[in-house]
Chain A
Amino acid sequence: MNLAYTLRLADDALIIGHRLSEWCGHGPILEQDIALTNTALDHLGRARSLCQYAAAQYNAATAEEKKNSFSSVAIQQLTEAGKELTEDDIAYLRDGWDYRNLLLLEQPNIDWAFTVARAFYYDTFNYYFFTHLKNSSDSTLAAIAEKSLKEVTYHLRWSSEWVVRLGDGTDESHNRMQQAINELWQYTGEQFVMNDADNEAASTGVGVNLAEILPLWTARIAEILQEATLSMPPAGSWMQQGGKEGRHTEHLGYILAEMQHMQRTYPGMEW
C-alpha cells in the first residue's frame, strides 16, 4: 500500500492549487490572471487524481490499517458505518495533522514576487520529481506523473520567466524578488527530506530517491537566479520542516477552515 506516499503528493497539489486559486480575479494583468488560473487548475486536477487513488487504497485496506491511517473523527465515523471514502472525504474531512504537504506550499501569496518565488522553487522540484516518478513501479502513480510532467514543464517555464523578468526589471521588482527568494528559502530544504514513507517508497521502486534530485534542483535554481541578476541564498542555512509529518505552519489551519467550511457545516450531502 502506498497510501502515505500518495497522500503526500495529493496534499501538495491540493494546497498549492488552493493558494494559486486565491489570485483568480485579482491578478496584476488580465492575461496573467488567466495563466495562473490554468496552473491552479492543473494542480487541482492532479490533486483529484491522487485523492481518488488515495481513497481507493484506503477502501481496500484492512480494518487495522484503516484505524491507523487518519486521526479524523469524521473519517472514522464513515468507516465504522461501512461507507467507502471518496476524493472529497480525503480532501475535506482531515484536519491539519493528517495533512502531509510541504510547508512551502501553504505559505501565503503576499504579492506577485512571493507567489512567483514559491512557484519557482516548487515547479523546479516537480519537474525533476515527476521525471523520475514516471518510471514508478506503481502504474497509477507513473501515469499521473507522465500527465503531470507535461503541465509542470509549462509551469516551470512560466515561473522561471517571471523570476528573470522581476529580477532583471526595475529596482523595485529586483528588491521584491530578492526578498521573496530569501524569505522562502528556509522552506525549500524540506522538499528533499527522506522520511519513512519516502524511504519505503524508494526502496520498492514506487517512489523517488530525493537525494538524486537535489543537485539537479540546485543547479537549475542557481542558473535562473544568475540570469535574473539575483543572488542565491547561502547554502547550509537553517531549514524549516515538519509538513511531511503533519506539523505545519499556522497558515494551514486557516486554509482548511475555509476550504472545508461547506463539508463541515453540512455533512454527508451531495453537491
Chain B
Amino acid sequence: MSVHSFQEHFDSLIDRDVTIEPKDWMPDDYRKTLIRQISQHAHSEIIGMLPEGNWITRAPSLRRKAVLLAKVQDEAGHGLYLYSAAETLGISRDEMYNQLHTGKAKYSSIFNYPTLTWADMGAIGWLVDGAAIMNQVPLCRTSYGPYARAMVRVCKEESFHQRQGFEIMLTLSKGTEIQRKLAQDAFNRWWWPSLMMFGPPDAESPNTEQSVRWRIKRFTNDELRQKFVDVTVEQARVLGLEMPDKDIKWNEERGHYDFGKINWSEFYNVVKGNGPCNKQRIEARRKAWDEGKWVRDAAMAHAEKRKARQSEVKAA
C-alpha cells in the first residue's frame, strides 16, 4: 500500500467507528496527539495522588481512612493502565516520567491547588472526579483501542470515587454548623478550578477540531463544561450549599444554567507553573523517583544475578 492508501484505510476505520490498534498504521500526528493526551492523563493520576494522599494520615475515622487509602491506590492503578496504554504507541514509562519531572509534560492543573481541610476530600471526589468522569466517559469509545479499554476500567472506579466524595459532602452538610462551614468553604475553593478542568474555551482550543475528527475527543470543552454546571447546580441544592457564583441562573431559552466569567488568566498562570502547589507537586514526584533509584537498581541487579545463576545451573 502507498502512504496515500494507508491514510485512506485509517480514515475509513475512523469513519466506521472501528478501533485503531497498536500495530495498525496511523498518521504521525495522531500518534503524537495520543501520546501527549494519554501521558498527560497518566501524570494527572499520579500527581493527583498527592493532594489526597495529604489527608490519609489525618482522616477523621478509620472507615474514611480505609476508603481514602483505597481511592488513592486506585489512582496509582489508573496511572499504571494509562502508562501501559501509552507504551503501546512507542514511548517508555521512564521517558514519560522524565518529561513530567523536567516540566515538559503537563498534567491536570487542578492538582496544583492545596488540600487545606478534610472537606477537600469530599469536594475533590464530588467536583474533581465528577468533572473527570464527564471528560472521561466519552473516551471509553475513543478511536484508539488500548486507551478506550483502559478508560472503561478507569471510569468504573471513578464513578465510585465521585459517590464517596459526594457522600463526604452529604455527611458534612447534615452535620454540625462548623461541618457545613467546612463543606461550603471547600466548595468555594474547588468550584472555579473544577470548571477550568474542561480546558480553555472552544474558541481558544486549537486541537479540538482535529481531535473530534479522530474521535480522540467526542465533545468540545464548552459542551462538557456546560453539562457539568447543569448537573452540579442540582447536586449543590441537595447538599444545601450555596453556589460560589452569584451569576448562576437558569436560562429557559438555552435549557441550561448560565454561569459567571471564569478567570482564565488564573488558569493560564497555573498551567505555566504559578499555581499554589506546582513546585511542591513536581518536587514530591522527583524526590520519590530520585530516592527510589537505588531500589530500582538493586531490583535490576538482583534479577540479573538470578538469571545468570539459572543459566549456570542449566549449563552444568
Interface residues in chain A, defined as those with a beta carbon under 8 Å from any beta carbon in chain B: 18, 21-22, 24-31, 33-34, 37-38, 40-41, 44-45, 47-48, 51, 87-88, 91-92, 111-112, 164-166, 168-170, 172-173, 176, 258-259, 261-263, 266, 269-271
Contact = CB atoms under 8 A, between A and B. Distances in A.
B298 A111 contact: no
A271 B118 CA distance: 9
B299 interface: yes
B295 A26 contact: no
A164 B302 contact: yes
Interface centre among A24, A40, A165, A258 (most CB of B within 10 A): A24
A34 B64 CA distance: 19
Contacts of A111: 291
A192 B10 CA distance: 68
A166 B171 contact: no
Contact of B295 (A22, A29, A45, A266): A29
Contacts of A27: 288, 292
Contacts of A30: 46, 76, 79-80, 83
- Interface majority SS (helix, strand, loop, mixed), chain A: helix
- Interface majority SS (helix, strand, loop, mixed), chain B: helix
A255 to B, nearest CB: 8
A21 B302 contact: no
Interface stretch (B156-164, B174-182, B244-252): B174-182
B239 interface: no
Contacts of B53: 24-26
B50 A25 contact: yes
Nearest to B42: A30
What is the interface residue range for chain B against chain A?
Answer: 35 or more
Contacts of A169: 297-299, 301-302, 305
A88 B284 contact: no
Nearest to A47: B62
Interface in B41-85: 46, 49-50, 53, 56-66, 69-70, 72-73, 76-77, 79-80, 83
Contacts of A21: 56-57, 65, 69
A271 B60 contact: yes
B296 A28 contact: yes
Contacts of B76: 24-25, 30, 33-34, 37
B113 to A, nearest CB: 16
A259 B288 contact: no
A88 B49 CA distance: 25
Contacts of A262: 58-60, 118
A37 B176 contact: no
Contacts of B64: 271
Contact of A24 (B63, B69, B287, B296): B69
A28 B292 CA distance: 4
Contacts of A18: 57
A18 B65 CA distance: 10
Contact of B61 (A38, A45, A88): A88
15 contacts: A24-B72, A26-B287, A28-B292, A28-B295, A29-B296, A33-B76, A51-B62, A91-B62, A92-B61, A169-B299, A172-B297, A263-B60, A266-B176, A271-B61, A271-B118
Contacts of A40: 69
B207 to A, nearest CB: 28
Interface centre among B62, B83, B287, B296 (most CB of A within 10 A): B62
A45 B302 CA distance: 33
Contacts of A48: 62-63, 66
A28 B291 CA distance: 7
A22 B50 CA distance: 11
Closest 7 CB pairs of A and B: A28-B292, A169-B298, A173-B298, A262-B60, A25-B49, A25-B53, A271-B60
Nearest to B172: A271
A22 B65 CA distance: 12
A26 B284 contact: yes
A18 B50 CA distance: 16
A271 B298 contact: no
A44 B69 contact: yes
A91 B65 CA distance: 12
Interface centre among A33, A164, A172 (most CB of B within 10 A): A33
